[in-house]
Each structure stands twice: as C-alpha cells, then as structure tokens.
Chain A
Amino acid sequence: DVKVTQSSRYLVKRTGEKVFLECVQDMDHENMFWYRQDPGLGLRLIYFSYDVKMKEKGDIPEGYSVSREKKERFSLILESASTNQTSMYLCASSLDGTRFTDTQYFGPGTRLTVL
C-alpha cells in the first residue's frame, strides 16, 4: 500500500513564525501536492511538483513556498505565518509524472492553528 505521511497531525504557531510542513511518500511517486481544506471552500491546491526540484503554483500559492530536494519528500513553507493560514493542510502523491491521470493518495493531514 502507498503510504503518505505528514510530520504533524496538529500544530500551533504564532503570527510571524516560519512554519515547515513535511510530507513523505514511500512509493517512488513522481507527483506530489499540497492542499488546504477549509469549511465551505473545500480543497484548494497550493503547489504541486512533478519532479525533484520542480514546482508549479496551484490556485492559492500566495504566502507559501515549497521545496522538493528529494523525490520522496515535499515540504510546504509558510515564511511568516498569519491567522488566515489557519487550516487543515493535506499532502498527496500520485505515480504519473506527466499527465496527472493517476489516483492521488493522501496523507492524514496537519491541522495548523496560527494564533
């Protein structure tokens, strides 16, 4: 079974702090994704990566950056956390490197609260 793990289930940070959310997948998948999920807004794509050191902006990249130095690891960075970044963050991966036609496998999520 594909396993996608996220570094924390719950995280509480203060406004202005730099925050790192880590995601690791163990199935040699090409694609990795970061979403945030908010009540009434559903899941929205922040960034995705289709290869090591490659990244593409999703629908809501503002206030976020990402890093993919190794194939299995995709990090989401909040350079200066703000209260409107309080949300559930979900990481996902999929096999196909070019056409995004494969099933996405999701991690358990990180619930981030910014005070």
Chain B
Amino acid sequence: KQEVTQIPAALSVPEGENLVLNCSFTDSAIYNLQWFRQDPGKGLTSLLLIQSSQREQTSGRLNASLDKSSGRSTLYIAASQPGDSATYLCAVYLDNYGQNFVFGPGTRLSVLP
C-alpha cells in the first residue's frame, strides 16, 4: 500500500531564507506527483505537477524535483516571504486502474517577518 510522508511536519523560518520541504513515497509506480498549498480553513491550490517521466518543474520562486527510483520529491522555495505561510501537501497518483490518490500529511510553514 502506498504511503506518503512529509518531513518536517512544521517549519518556522525568517523571511528571506531559502527552504526545502520533503516528500517520500513507498511505491515508485506513480503517474505523477503534485504539490499543493492549503491556507487555514480553505481548499487546496495546486502549485506544481511533475509527470513520472520528468525530473523537475519550476514556477516562479518554487522548484519541485522528483526522483522516482528513490521515492522522493522536494519542494524548494527561494527567498521566502510571509505570504508563503501555509500548509504544503504532496500527493501521488498511482499507476494502476482503480486509482488511488494518496496525500501526504503536509508541512506547516511559517515565514516570520
């Protein structure tokens, strides 16, 4: 059974720092991996989607990498800002019919001004 973990569970950094969030999954047979942002009490917003054949995706200050063979993805946030404070979740979409969409528990990020 696919399991997704995220480390750390919570992170607090001063404004301007570069930071890395980690996501690990146990089964490498995935269609893709997606990073989401969730603000308190709200739904999820997609940040980046990496297809299984890709190694990384970039959007502005965000860069996500994928290493399928080792079951890892990282989300790199450059020059963090207070507005980046949120919970960040990764999710994997599995490579079999009767799909499972498995989410990690999230990393709660606080960027202090």
Interface residues of A (CB under 8 A from B): 4, 33, 35, 40-45, 48, 56, 58-59, 90, 92, 99-109, 111
Residue of B whose beta carbon sits closest to that of A10: B41
Contact of A109 among B31, B32, B42, B106 (CB under 8 A): B42
Using A107-B43, A108-B42, A109-B43 as known contacts, say yes or no to A42 and B103 having CB atoms under 8 A apart.
yes
Q: How far is the CB of B66 from chain A (nearest CB, A)?
A: 14
Q: Is B79 an interface residue (CB 8 A)?
A: no
Question: A19 vs B32: C-alpha distance in the bound complex, in angstroms?
Answer: 34
Number of interface residues of B (CB under 8 A): 23
Q: How far is the CB of A29 from chain B (nearest CB, A)?
A: 13
Task: Give every chain A residue within 8 A of B36 (Cβ-Cβ).
Answer: 106
As a 0/1 sequence over residues 22 to 46 of chain B, the CB contacts with chain A under 8 angstroms (1 = contact) are 0000000001101010000111111
Q: How far is the CB of A50 from chain B (nearest CB, A)?
A: 9
Residue of B whose beta carbon sits closest to that of A6: B43
Q: How far is the CB of B89 from chain A (nearest CB, A)?
A: 7
